[in-house]
Structure 1
């Protein structure tokens, strides 16, 4: 489920979506150099560097005139290649040797680590994010410093896996601890994302299966844009019933308060500082955690009732239409672990309706039985109904013998069937017909034949 942007959509709506993804377990971060800058830099010290600033500093280390390198209309990987070529010509070394030295210099210049104050602050933010994975284009280990003991760094040649209770941090362009694996030049960059490579496919699938939060990243990477496009178009199809979106936190001097989507369909939330985004999100997350805890408590109470039903709760399910439909509504949109308890509970309720038919002329019991079955068939769709609940097909076959206006039949049940049979979806009718044919449920077939066909 993605966020539908309307004129009334607020940042809080976006934060709630991020929170729901954190609770679901599919929230991921895509982190760029802007994040390292937010963690490390302040008015007094500018420690972390952007890619352009890093390349300029490398030129200074190798006595190369950065301003003399033609840069108009080309990306940083190509600029890095030009720097390596210039250094190769200047030093008399091969291009490969020059490239290797540049990579080692990158490793040396990105030895950035947050102080205790910043580490504690951003660790708190991460604890509220509860991310499942992190992908970064950074060479530094700033994120690992924040998540010491809770994360594992992965290089561009590693598989993107999720160890239990550990956050994988996948360095798309390599990391400073392995200079030779650093991706910086044009040829490094091209080979990293050859068509149909594991990384490109994995990245696209990961984006499709997650809510992706872009932090400190400007989406200038054509390969990442390609992965986003793949996630929406190549790997399209299927119903998405979990929180999913691509959300970019965009730093602006005068941020717009209202979220919006850019031309690539990416949801944009503007902020003047990443810290301010985190602080706003944390407040919403705290409220959502309380709300989710209350829901969990309520579901636990329901589960207790289902696992050990009293006669009072059984009677209430049969006799109180509002209670019954509300419970079915909760079950149709709640965790699957409640299903087994409900199936047992429903059996007891259906058995009770048959007990009520025991006295002579007690035809209302058949009507009550039918109402329960119809509420199940209309309260769930064929896509979310637990397979075990298709026992309702047998239930309809059994009660069908008593639905009618003849002697020994329940007139009330006949009225209920005629009034409500149109509520059963075409997909559900088809499924019931298939079951009836499979098990030779003659009476159920007769019932279903009374439903008008489109």
Structure 2
């Protein structure tokens, strides 16, 4: 999967940030870490009349009267009346959580790689996964370490190391959202500077959504590809994926559990490490010294994904005219390679490259739009459903199967362009797929 290679490349170039939520802690603790709701119910159990309180706050047959932060505030008031502090009680519960078994692939990554981890979890499970690797645990209320480390864990909502500073109640959340703290600024910074992978987390946090949405505006104005991925164990409908990208610039990788994600990532990292330094050097030579990629290199399907990853690692904008020239030359060369004798795999490569490009950023009204659409037209008019001499069935299969993976605005753009420039039936079949 090209997206996994892109994430592996970020890891190889020390530009990977993992954003972990409750689902991550549940995964690595074999399910013993409580959900947010489960944690609040456990707090109720230490109060008098707990059954009545839980029935009121968490009714079985009706919606809860309050959101979870407000529910936590109610419980906090009840605890205070018993001379107990909600932050201390939560710290006691969380401190009992331990790592489970069968975390080999996750531990392999955490103990051997460099990365940044931003978490809303209070536990120290991420730190425990690092083994002998050097790490820093950074928590509100405690001094910021100034030494270097391979793994930095930012507890933006606090941790059990400093219970009074944990963000639990609605009052805590209001203070967090409205404060310009080191942690709120750091969260914003890592989105700008890294490839971010969201693990075990939903988009329920208002502050997070605001920051991610701010980055979405930045990435569009600077014509850089989306660098935020959401890993989902369950299958997610295409319209939901479109919503995630449109509102937050997030690419969804579904039907993939957290452990399987790290298993696939660990497979790709050695290859990414092997080529990262060379590909960065090549990008600089092609962009700044006006050299060109060799045809033998561009014949390889992986070459395009390496180029795209290197563009991001170098911090280049696709609105940079030098980058546009480079991408245009690469696409043109690949298109010409499809004209060689028995170059059937090149047809398939070209289709996949264009689909991947269309899944990364919104093409409309950017300087790459014209060259991109011309290449799409070439690809779609040389494909055909079924085996026919001179046409690529594999290219058709790629377009048909991956059409829905592209950003919805790009699908609309391509549909209009294809309908205006060709009557080729198989091309029209793809762009008019109403289920996508």
Same topology, TM > 0.5: yes
- Residues in 1 aligned to 2:265 and 2:39: alpha-carbon distance in whole angstroms: 31
Match of 1:178 in 2: 162
Residue in 1 aligned with 2:243?
262
Q: Distance in 1 between matches of 2:8 and 2:201?
A: 21
Check whether the contact 1:213–1:249 (CA below 8 A) recurs between aligned residues: yes
How many residues are treated as equivalent by the alignment? Answer: 289
Aligned match for 2:185, one of 201, 204, 208: 201
* TM-score scaled by length of structure 2: 0.57
Matched, 1:142 2:125: yes
Could you tell me whether the CA contact under 8 Å between 1:139 and 1:174 is conserved in 2?
yes
Aligned to 1:66: 54
Q: Please say if 1:33 is aligned against 2:28.
A: no
Determine if the alignment matches structure 1 residue 224 to structure 2 residue 183: no
Alignment of 1:95-244 (within 5 A): 98=84, 100=85, 102-111=86-95, 112-115=97-100, 117-118=101-102, 120-126=104-110, 130-148=113-131, 149-157=133-141, 163-194=147-178, 196-233=180-217, 237-238=221-222, 240=224
* C-alpha distance in 1 between matches for 2:212 and 2:184: 10
- Gap change, CA 1:161 and 1:259, over 3 Å in 2: farther
Q: Whole-Å Cα distance in 1 between the matches of residues 143 and 214 of structure 2?
A: 20
Write the distance in 2 (CA, Å) between the matches of 1:384 and 1:247. 28
- Specify the SS of the correspondent of 2:178: coil
* Partner secondary structure for residue 232 of structure 2: strand
Q: What's the offset of the Cα at 1:179?
A: 1.5
Structure 1 residues 290 and 257 mapped into 2: Cα distance closer, same or farther (>3 Å)?
Answer: farther
Deviation at 1:267, TM superposition (A): 0.9
Conserved in 1, the CA contact under 8 Å of 2:105 and 2:263? Answer: no
Can you list the C-alpha shifts for 1:350-382, whole angstroms capped at 9, x where unaligned? xxxxxxxxxxxxxxxxxxxxxxxxxxxxxx949
Contact 2:105/2:262, CA 8 A, preserved across alignment: no
Deviation at 1:384, TM superposition (A): 11
1 CA distance for matches of 2:4 and 2:39?
33
Q: How far 1:157 sits from its partner (Å)? A: 4.2
> What is the CA distance between 1:169 and its match in structure 2?
0.5
* Residue 277 to residue 73, structure 1, CA distance change in 2 (3 Å): farther
Instruction: Say if 1:214 and 1:248, in contact at 8 Å, map to a contact too.
Output: yes
Change (3 A) 1:257 1:123: farther
Assess if the C-alpha contact under 8 Å between 1:139 and 1:182 holds in 2: yes
Counterparts in 2 of 1:376-415, with a 5 A limit?
A: 381=322
Find the aligned partners of 2:18 and 2:293 in 1 and give their Cα distance: 37
Task: State the alpha-carbon separation in 2 of the partners of residues 235 and 256 from structure 1.
Answer: 24
Contact conserved, 2:136 with 2:145, CA < 8 A, in 1? no
Q: Secondary structure at the match of 1:29?
A: strand
Structure 1 pair 121/326, CA: closer, same or farther in 2 (3 Å)?
closer
The CA deviation at 1:75 is 2.8
Matches of 1:224 and 1:294, distance apart in 2: 35
Q: 2:75 aligns with which of 80, 83, 98?
A: 83
How far has the Cα of 1:85 moved from its partner?
2.1
Secondary structure in 1 aligned to 2:217?
Answer: helix
User: What is the RMSD computed on CA atoms of the aligned residues?
Assistant: 4.0
Choose the corresponding residue for 2:34, options 49, 60, 64. Answer: 49
Give the drift of 1:259: 11
Does structure 2 conserve the Cα–Cα contact (< 8 Å) formed by 1:209 and 1:244?
no
Q: TM-score, normalised by structure 1?
A: 0.54
Task: Measure the CA separation in 1 of the matches of 2:143 and 2:215.
Answer: 19
Q: Report which stretch shifted further, 267-276 or 27-36.
A: 267-276
Where does the alignment leave 5 or more consecutive residues of structure 1 unmatched? 1-11, 303-323, 336-379, 386-454
8 Å contact 2:231–2:257 — kept in the other structure? no
Aligned residue number for residue 18 of structure 1: 7
How much does 1:163 deviate?
Answer: 4.4
Rate the CA distance shift 1:232–1:267 in 2: closer, same or farther, 3 A. Answer: same
